Amino acid sequence: MRILFIMSVIFLAACSGEEKAKTTAAPITVVLAARIEPAVASTYQLTGVVRARQEASLAFRLPGEIRQRLIKAGDHVNAGQVLMTLDPRDAEQQLAAARTQSATAQANRQRLADLRNKNFISQQALDNAVSNATTAQAAMTQASNAASYTRMTAPAAGIVMEVTGEVGQVVAPGQAVATLAYAGQREVEVFIPEIRLATLTKQAQAHLFGSATTAHTTLREVAGAADPATRTWRARYLLLGEAANWPLGATVSLILNTPDTRQSPLKRVPVGAVLDKGQGTMVWVIREGKAHPTPVKLMYVDNEYAVIDTDLAEGTPVVALGLHTLKPGQTVKIRP
């Protein structure tokens, strides 16, 4: 009986140990994983729009009320074509007054010239009359020009992109009322991120949105300063060949090459894959179903990725989400 009692105690202790081992086994954590990638792909893509090489905002030189609007957006116009007119009455009245003053000054000059020939007046009196006549003539010429400024004409052939002026609207001098895209060369306008500026290529491939049409482009200019809000640089790529006829405002994907980075140690992972607990940046490498913290050097972060300097091979799986709950060597299961 004593032997049976001892064996029962040993058996119960063993069962209790097994149950305790089961309850204390490390839990399996389901994680979202990503793989380490090269920091810079061989190509990258920017979205832009087709613009005219030259564009102009059109405005009247005089204040006034718009009397006629002879154009609409999308119209093709010729150089010198009248696009809008102002109410001409004020300008015509000023011109009529200037003509009267000029005619009076010219008549007075002629009369004083005759008197000077007879030595009835001084030379200074004649000089004053000549000066007044010249000033009146200039004022009449200016008034005549002002009268012509009531008609807005196209400075060149092109396409009207936008019209903001309406009949009855009172406008100030220089207030833009239309935008004209000059006929001729077309370009793709894109905005270059700061990290791409130093390696920007001169050539690029353009793909017209919604079409299989492609074209070669060449860089024409880059803005001298970044946009203060987006921190990007505006760039213009000239469309070559038949692409010069692509529609203005159309969306274009611009494919640009990047320098060869095969020798670079820089790689990238999703931003959420990098963790810093105050002892340096690290990633959780997944190896044989377990998570292992591995230090890396963080270079910079963009909108989606963290660029790191590491000896870890491309394709190495790392935990991309839920890093703060992991412990070294913890068993993980990758979410499908």
253 with 198, same domain: the answer is yes
Residue 44 CA neighbour count, 13 Å, CB half: 17
Q: Is residue 167 in some structural domain?
A: no
Same-domain pairing of 106 and 246 = no
pLDDT in tens, 95-122: 788 888 888 888 888 888 888 888 888 8
322 and 274 in a common domain:
yes
Which range marks the domain in which residue 97 is found? Answer: 88-149
Q: For residue 84, which of 96, 93, 72 has the smallest C-alpha distance?
A: 72
Question: What does the pLDDT average to over 40-63?
Answer: 88
Amino acid residing at 246: W
| Pair 322, 32: CB distance under 8 Å | yes
Tokens 């029962």, residue?
8
Q: What is the pLDDT of residue 40?
A: 65
25: confidence class by pLDDT, cuts 50, 70, 90:
low
pLDDT at 309 over 80: yes
243 and 290 fall within a common domain? no
C-alpha–C-alpha distance, residues 289 and 214, integer Å = 46
Q: Are residues 225 and 276 in the same domain?
A: no
- Residue 108 and residue 122 in one domain: yes
pTM summary value: 0.58
**Domain-terminating residue out of 208, 234, 257:** 257
Q: Do 247 and 294 have their domain in common?
A: no
Q: Provide the mean pLDDT of the chain.
A: 85
What's the rounded Cα separation, in Å, for the pair 164 and 118?
A: 63
Domain assignment present for 157: no
Inside any domain, residue 66: no
The single-letter DSSP state of residue 157 is S
Q: In this structure, are 238 and 287 located in the same domain? A: no
Q: pLDDT, tens digit, for every residue of 215-225?
A: 999 999 999 99
Question: Residue 179 has what pLDDT?
Answer: 96
- Give me the DSSP letters along 63-95: -EEEEEE---TT-EE-TT-EEEEE--HHHHHHH
Same domain, 296 and 248: no
- Is there a domain that residue 170 lies in? no
Q: So what's the pLDDT on residue 93?
A: 84
3-class DSSP state for residue 176?
strand
Answer with the one of 106, 124, 149 that is the final residue of a domain: 149
> Quick one: tokens of 47?
């979205």
Which CATH number goes with the domain that contains 269? 2.40.420.20
Q: Residues 146, 95: contact at Cβ < 8 Å?
A: yes
Same domain for 290 and 330: yes
Q: Is residue 156 part of a domain?
A: no
Half-sphere exposure of 97 (CA within 13 A, CB side): 7
Quickly list DSSP for 168-200: T-EE-TT-EEEEEEESS-EEEEEEEEHHHHTT-
Band the pLDDT of 166: cuts 50, 70, 90: very high
Q: What is the mean pLDDT of residues 193-214?
A: 88
In a domain, 166, yes or no: no
**What does the pLDDT read at residue 319?**
92
Q: Is residue 188 assigned to a domain? A: yes
Bridge partners, residue 51, by sequence: 187
Say if 176 falls within a structural domain: no
Give the pLDDT confidence of 65-93 residue by residue, as tens digits: 999 999 999 999 999 999 999 998 887 88
Number of structural domains, the chain? 3
CATH number (domain holding residue 47)? 2.40.30.170
Decide which of 228, 257, 286 is a domain's last residue: 257
Q: Tell me, what CATH number does 112's domain have?
A: 1.10.287.470
How distant, in Å, are the alpha carbons of 34, 164, 226, 231 from that of 252? 31, 26, 22, 21
Are 36 and 50 in a shared domain?
A: no
Could you give the 3-state DSSP secondary structure of residue 45? strand
| pLDDT band per the 50, 70, 90 thresholds, residue 258 | confident
